[in-house]
Structure 1
């Protein structure tokens, strides 16, 4: 049986991404990663693509920024190229023209919202109307060429290693082994599935294996709903607790960044969950044991991930 290999970022790429090497702050890079992944998700929904195509595109998108800088390539263009490539990989191809139109619609709608939100204090705007491009216009050909070039850049920069192992099957298998599938009234599996989708808006798919992502989202889901599980159940799946802490903290930080924009509180880590993780403040130090499953080289120096104390309060 063939094994699908999921390439992960190296320790050097994690420490200093090409974008941060070019002077882009980490917070800005995280926000741009999230924005590009959300564009891919929205474009895929408008184009009625299957979720596997959108997830594959988001993972390729996140990998790309560990080998390329955001100063050299546009977020929208690389997202278009990744989604166009993913439709071929997942055998759900769509016409290039249709995908260009979808991204143009999203671009026009974004400009419309920015224009009206800055020009008026009222929350009631005129209805947005999409103005399609003429297929003979220079704008259409510019977008089409940008998509084709971006697809080639994704292939080139990733060394044509575009195999993606999606974590959804792993999530379902783990839930079945833990007896969570029968708890449909609690929505544990559905909640974990949603958390897994949201994790694709961060760099996590390029840092951790599908098994770690699946176990971490199950952990967050069962603690949010309050469903008991055996102690240290993640060891059954050979998942390291420190890796799971990093994944959970990154997802919570994503929600916190979104909360700052909306003014709402999407998630709050309970004290019980914090105690289960065994950490309220973490300065994660990688050793050869910690990173054996991820394949990243060992380092005696502490590596500051995205986990901070405020993610657990």
Structure 2
């Protein structure tokens, strides 16, 4: 990552990520990133790291009160940054997701018990394995089987968690500063006079949350991402804003139109339909072993930028 107060990926890292150099197609890498962030979010919910936000119309978010929610968002951003300096062939998205959430909980002063985090990820991975099981086995209702207290599986996951946390710090050069966009969104909506439209506020807030599943927080500055969320919300709800030169509302916030439109594209790709085979492929590639097996079966698929 480029060295700055808020690190962003360099042009070379964007054009050819380490995973792409190892033969993972861009679309597959993007899907694996999104799935890894979903696991982080699901784990945060089960660990009660996500709490309900106050009514958006009030626009009052106290960092101390909602620190746990902040930890989950921070973990997702660190997770996305990590894959610009490391290949998915070297580390699994499940292990790195655990490490990112464990590290973020420390950074935001709401630490998680290591055993609880490992148990939750084990539950999520077992449920994913059940989802990909043959239809004959799906007739049986899913039931979680906890790991034995002194079993080797727990200690293997514990070692992977510790290594992942260490590697995130090492490979990011301890640049773990994260700026979340919610305060900026509040200010921009006030400037645009949209605070009275609760549906716009809610939808824009939701787009910012969904954007955590994409690499945009490691690619673009926060004002650009916030402008993209407002653009999507207002266009979907048909709320008019000045968009013709020389009175383009996003220029008020020093955002470039091409960058804003690019962020919109990243977010909208999350909502595309996926066939069951694509979903099953993601579930089987949570670990680095699954990624390596896929590369062996399909061969390297290097794609020129």
Report runs of 4+ in structure 1 exceeding 2 Å deviation: 118-121, 124-127
Number of the residue aligned with 1:240: 256
TM superposition shift of 1:166: 0.8
User: What is the 5 A alignment of 1:26-65?
Assistant: 26-49=26-49, 50-65=68-83
TM-score (normalizing by structure 2): 0.80
- Indicate whether 1:72 and 2:90 are aligned: yes
Number of the residue aligned with 1:141: 155
Number of the residue aligned with 1:295: none
- Indicate whether 1:204 and 2:216 are aligned: yes
Distance in 2 between residues matched to 1:37 and 1:156, nearest whole Å = 21
Mark the runs of 5 or more structure 2 residues left unpaired by the alignment: 50-67, 277-303
SS in 2 for 1:194: helix
Distance in 1 between residues matched to 2:114 and 2:103, nearest whole Å = 11
Distance in 2 between residues matched to 1:244 and 1:7, nearest whole Å = 19
| 1:238-271 deviation line (CA, Å, top 9, x unaligned) | 1111100110111112212xx2348xxxxxxxxx
TM-score (normalizing by structure 1): 0.78
User: What is the 5 A alignment of 1:223-238?
Assistant: 223-231=235-243, 232-238=248-254
Distance in 1 between residues matched to 2:15 and 2:174, nearest whole Å = 24
| 1:39-87 deviation line (CA, Å, top 9, x unaligned) | 1111111111032111100100000000001111111000000010000
Residues 213, 247 of structure 1: 8 Å contact kept: yes
- The match for 2:111 among 88, 93, 101 is 93
Distance in 2 between residues matched to 1:128 and 1:181, nearest whole Å = 44
| 1:152-176 deviation line (CA, Å, top 9, x unaligned) | 0000000011000111111111112
TM superposition shift of 1:230: 2.3
Number of the residue aligned with 1:276: none
| 1:12-56 deviation line (CA, Å, top 9, x unaligned) | 001110111111111111111111011111111111103211110
Mark the runs of 5 or more structure 1 residues left unpaired by the alignment: 263-302, 305-313
Residues 56, 164 of structure 1: 8 Å contact kept: yes
| 1:176-211 deviation line (CA, Å, top 9, x unaligned) | 211111112xx1111111111111111111100111
SS in 2 for 1:32: helix
Distance in 2 between residues matched to 1:171 and 1:125, nearest whole Å = 46
Residues 5, 165 of structure 1: 8 Å contact kept: no
State the superposition RMSD in angstroms. 1.7
Distance in 1 between residues matched to 2:78 and 2:265, nearest whole Å = 22
Distance in 2 between residues matched to 1:170 and 1:127, nearest whole Å = 45
TM superposition shift of 1:126: 3.3
Distance in 2 between residues matched to 1:169 and 1:67, nearest whole Å = 29
Greater relative contact order structure (CA < 8 Å, 6+ sep): 2
- Indicate whether 1:151 and 2:169 are aligned: no
SS in 1 for 2:122: helix
Number of the residue aligned with 2:295: none
Number of the residue aligned with 1:130: 144
SS in 2 for 1:260: coil
Number of the residue aligned with 1:5: 5
- Paired residues in the alignment total 253
Number of the residue aligned with 2:269: 253
